[in-house]
């Protein structure tokens, strides 16, 4: 694949599922006319809540699902017409664990490397000559050692996977996903269920993998921090549609201002008009028991906000100043938070 060629090209992708027998004529769109592209060497995320259509898109791009309409090309190959070529060009780390826990880490990697012909070259394992077979084995073993080192599992390589921690298993799955030098690596919720420290380590492995191998990485996530930390661009997806796509910085710049969140005592009525009268407040939102005010230079405005609340007899439990996040971008476009 040429350096400037797009790794993924999606146009009008739609996937519909039929309803119940009593409503056979109706269909529900899990993915609805989705279009986007991913450049070679990019880390790209589909960010959205559970049920938004992220995993369905990934399953189509990895040839596990057939689209209802639209087109998609991965590594230059059509996902509907050239499935075998797509599969040879990609690696996948599924949301659900898929390791053989009865094998060691090294054996898991060796099995996967053999399936994908690591060390066989373009001609495959032909001829059966002992010298050639030995060379192929050395190439495979060197690649296994290389990926074990990258994900820091050299010392645990010969332990049975059943004894691995959750983070170690995830790192091994990622190593397995790129051991055969794929052009595109798909990660479906790569840090789901992991603790904060382990998630950070996984993120660093993904970044290093992208830098060292020049690998295109496409991940799905519902974690704003994960998308913000890892990705050059983020496509925010909701109810089967991409509602915004840009760099994390540009998406947050759509919000633009500081956000001041106030937690008020229960039954504090009439506060909406109090805060809307402040001429520096550009937007007012009420959500989950909090009042969020958008403004410039929020750090200088907090005393004025608290004084306005005091004069109206409103008791403020807590106040928080923050910069916009991808969560705020999602809220801006959908009217609800990504966890709802």
Does some domain include residue 119? yes
The reply to whether 204 and 234 lie within a common domain is yes
Considering the domain boundaries, does residue 196 fall inside one?
Answer: yes
Does some domain include residue 157?
A: yes
State how far the Cα of 99 lies from the Cα of 153, in Å rounded to an integer.
15
At how many degrees (to 10) do helices 166-178 and 196-213 cross? 10
pLDDT at residue 335, as a whole number: 75
Alpha-carbon span 64 to 210, nearest angstrom: 24
- For residue 278, the enclosing domain spans 257-323
Do β-strands 184-188 and 90-93 pair in parallel, antiparallel, or remain unpaired?
Answer: parallel
Per-residue b or e along 120-135, where b marks 16 or more CB atoms closer than 10 Å to that residue's CB:
beeeeeeeeeeeeeee
What the block records as the tokens of 46 is 């589909």
DSSP E strands, 115-232: 184-188, 216-221
User: Do residues 287 and 337 make contact, with C-beta atoms less than 8 angstroms apart?
Assistant: yes
Report the percent of the chain where pLDDT is more than 90: 57
Answer whether residue 236 shows pLDDT above 90.
yes
In a domain, 226, yes or no: yes
Which tens digits make up the pLDDT trace of 26-80?
567 899 999 999 999 999 999 999 889 999 999 999 999 999 999 999 999 999 9
Q: Are residues 133 and 45 in the same domain?
A: yes
Write the DSSP assignment of 28-90 as a string of letters. EEEEEEEEEEEETT-EEEEE--TTSSHHHHHHHHTTSS--SEEEEEETTEETTT-HHHHHHHE
Task: Say how many domains are in the chain.
Answer: 2
**List of residues 6+ apart from 126 with CB closer than 8 A:** none
What's the pTM? 0.79
Question: What confidence tier does 129 reach under pLDDT thresholds 50, 70, 90?
Answer: very low
- Do 203 and 284 sit in the same domain of this protein? no
Residue 310 inside a domain? The answer is yes
Retrieve residue 313's tokens: 């007899």
Q: Identify whether residues 34 and 60 lie together within a single domain.
A: yes
Rounded to the nearest 5 percent, the helix, strand and coil shares of the chain are: 40, 25, 35
List residues bridging with 28 in a β-sheet.
17
Q: What are phi and psi of 101, to 5 degrees?
A: -70, -10
Is 336 part of a structural domain of the chain?
no
DSSP string, 245-296: EE-HHHHHHTT-SEEEEEEEPTT-TTHHHHHHTSTT--EEEEETTEEEEEES
CATH code at position 68: 3.40.50.300
Same-domain status, 186 and 303: no
At 140-163, the pLDDT tens digits run 999 999 999 989 999 999 999 999
């Amino acid at each position: 694949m040429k350096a400037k060629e797009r790794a993924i090209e999606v146009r009008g992708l739609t996937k519909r599922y039929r309803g119940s027998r009593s409503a056979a004529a109706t269909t529900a769109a899990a993915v609805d006319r989705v279009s986007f592209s991913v450049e070679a060497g990019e880390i790209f995320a589909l960010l959205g809540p559970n049920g938004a259509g992220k995993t369905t898109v990934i399953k189509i791009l990895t040839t596990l699902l057939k689209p209802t309409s639209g087109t998609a090309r991965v590594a230059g190959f059509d996902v509907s017409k050239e499935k075998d070529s797509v599969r040879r060009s990609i690696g996948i780390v599924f949301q659900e664990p898929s390791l053989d826990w009865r094998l060691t880490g090294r054996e898991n990697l060796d099995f996967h490397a053999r399936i994908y012909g690591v060390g066989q070259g373009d001609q495959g394992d032909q001829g059966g000559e002992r010298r050639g077979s030995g060379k192929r084995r050395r190439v495979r073993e060197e690649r296994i050692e290389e990926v074990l080192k990258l994900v820091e599992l050299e010392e645990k390589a010969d332990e049975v996977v059943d004894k691995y921690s959750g983070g170690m298993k995830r790192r091994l799955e990622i190593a397995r996903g790129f051991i055969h030098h794929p052009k595109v690596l798909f990660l479906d919720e790569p840090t789901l269920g992991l603790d904060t420290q382990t998630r950070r380590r996984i993120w660093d492995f993904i970044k290093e993998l992208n830098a060292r191998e020049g690998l295109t990485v496409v991940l799905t996530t519902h974690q704003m921090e994960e998308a913000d930390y890892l990705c050059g661009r983020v496509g925010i997806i909701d109810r089967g549609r991409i509602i915004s796509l840009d760099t994390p910085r540009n998406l947050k710049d759509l919000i633009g201002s500081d956000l001041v969140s106030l937690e008020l005592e229960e039954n504090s009525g009439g506060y909406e008009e109090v805060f809307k009268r402040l001429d520096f407040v550009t937007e007012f939102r009420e959500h989950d028991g909090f009042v969020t005010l958008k403004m410039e230079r929020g750090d200088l405005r907090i005393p004025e906000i608290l004084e306005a609340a005091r004069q109206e007899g409103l008791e403020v439990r807590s106040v928080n100043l923050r910069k916009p996040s991808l969560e705020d971008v999602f809220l801006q476009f959908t009217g609800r938070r990504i966890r709802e």
